[in-house]
Amino acid sequence: VFPDGERFDYVGDEERLLAQIAEFNPRDVDGYRKLAAHARRIFDVGYTQLVDKPFDRFTDMLKIVPDLVRLGCWKSIYSWVAQYIEDDRLRQVFTFQPLLIGGNPFRAPAIYALIHWLERKWGVEFALGGTTSIIKGMVQLLAEIGVELRLNSPVTEIEVEGGKAVAVRLGSGERITCSAVVSNADPAFVYTRLVAARHRTWNRDFVIKQKKLSMGLFVGYFGAKKTWPHLAHHTIVLGPRYRELLEDIFERKILADDFSLYLHAPTRSDPSLAPPGHENFYVLSPVPNTLGNIDWEACGQRYFDTILDFLDQGQLPGLKQNLVTQRHITPQYFETTLRSVGGAAFGPEPRLTQSAFFRYHNRSEDVEGLYFVGAGTHPGAGMPGVLSSAKVLERVFPAPLPGQRVPVPKDRIVRAAAS
């Protein structure tokens, strides 16, 4: 949805896409066909061939450089799209995708154009019951294969002896011996807070501090005793500024007066998530991470009120008088509760110099037996990236001995969770 109320229905059906593109700018119809074909070629290399491959060695990176150059992946997503699309509004439609993984479209490399074809190829799935249903399914699976699950047990240290991970110490003081640690926490947090500096030569504090972090997120959750049947499950509400707002978020790190929003209406697909006649939402606003000097304790609720007023006057008329519940989280929540350095919502920002080999490796260079999965490591953030990081782990983790049910001796694998 554009500031003037004009809409573009971002769907997987190419004919519907082309018809809408023609309404905005007929010359961009052929441009989009070329864009989509190019995105598919990038997908075939960047996703199909590389997304689940480890990049432990620089030579792994060198092997793919010719393909990346040939495909023009060194360009920013915005400049890559601009070579095919003339209309400024359509350029926004086809360049916002890097924000889904924490990237600035004006700096994220065109390798991430694969997201467009990934969405075209497979669509977007929603789990009935919400994320909670996925968590319940994973808990059930872990129980079935005999994995011990501990909650509310923050890790305070990964002990290293002779260059190897040998134990994990919890906040309670308990020490758990292990042969390997698989962490889905922010690698920057793990290295700087859980692994002593004397054990790190590659991931030293000053090296980690130089990395560019993704933006932060403000997320407001709310429910209302009213429904808005016209609303789609997913709505992106674009503000009056695009490049300038992104500069405020990523570079200047200031909280702007204007915003662009993602409005999520899960009850559109799963009415059981709210009582009859009610509807629930979350609204997401990209904001600076905590490296910006923003006092979220003081301005968080005020910022949410401004967003609710905006929605009341636009996408959700009558919202304020029908609001029954609300809460919000800020980048401070990501920094403290989720232990993400700088309150970054997606770990390192996906730039060319922080992708593939240049991202945190799935197998630690400093500590033998320390491995990473999740948004902060290769290949990156977003559900497909996070799941693919587990496939990379499968390639680098030691293979089990014949007859073993777990790939390490009998002590245990400890998963150093983020909380």
- The amino acid present at 207, given as its one-letter code, is V
Residue 403: the pLDDT is 57
> How many CB atoms lie under 10 A from the CB of residue 218?
25
Series of mean pLDDT values for 10-residue runs along the chain (419 residues): 94 93 97 96 89 84 79 91 97 94 94 92 90 93 92 96 97 95 96 97 95 97 96 96 97 96 96 95 97 94 97 96 98 96 96 88 96 95 92 88 49 43
Residue 401: the pLDDT is 53
Pairing of strands 234-237, 216-224: unpaired
Is residue 282 helix, strand or coil? Answer: strand
User: Are 82 and 55 spatial neighbours (Cβ–Cβ below 8 Å)?
Assistant: no
Whole-prediction pTM = 0.90
User: Are 379 and 385 spatial neighbours (Cβ–Cβ below 8 Å)?
Assistant: yes
Q: How far apart are CA 127 and CA 372, in angstroms?
A: 26
- Describe the strand order of the beta sheet including 175-177 as a list of residue ranges: 155-161, 164-170, 175-177
- The amino acid present at 128, given as its one-letter code, is L
Which residue, among 25, 30, 47, 9, has the nearest Cα to 356 in the 3D structure? 47
Q: How far apart are CA 401 and CA 386, in angstroms?
A: 27
Q: How far apart are CA 351 and CA 16, in angstroms?
A: 32
Q: Rounded to the nearest 5 degrees, what angle is found at the Cα of 234, between the Cα atoms of 6 and 43?
A: 100
With the CA atoms of 71, 77, 83 and 84 taken in that order, what torsion angle do they form, in degrees rounded to the nearest 10? 90
Q: How far apart are CA 156 and CA 153, in angstroms?
A: 9
Q: How many C-alpha atoms does 119 have within 13 Å on its Cβ side?
A: 17
Residue 162: the pLDDT is 96
> Residue 308: which residues within 8 A CB-CB, separation 6 or more?
220, 222, 319, 320, 323, 326
Distances from the Cα of 103 to the Cαs of 108, 212, 244, 355, 368, in angstroms?
A: 6, 10, 15, 11, 31
Both tokens of residue 287?
């904001």
Q: How far apart are CA 177 and CA 314, in angstroms?
A: 56
Q: What is the helix, strand, coil percentage profile of the chain, to 5?
A: 40, 15, 45
Q: How far apart are CA 358 and CA 111, in angstroms?
A: 14
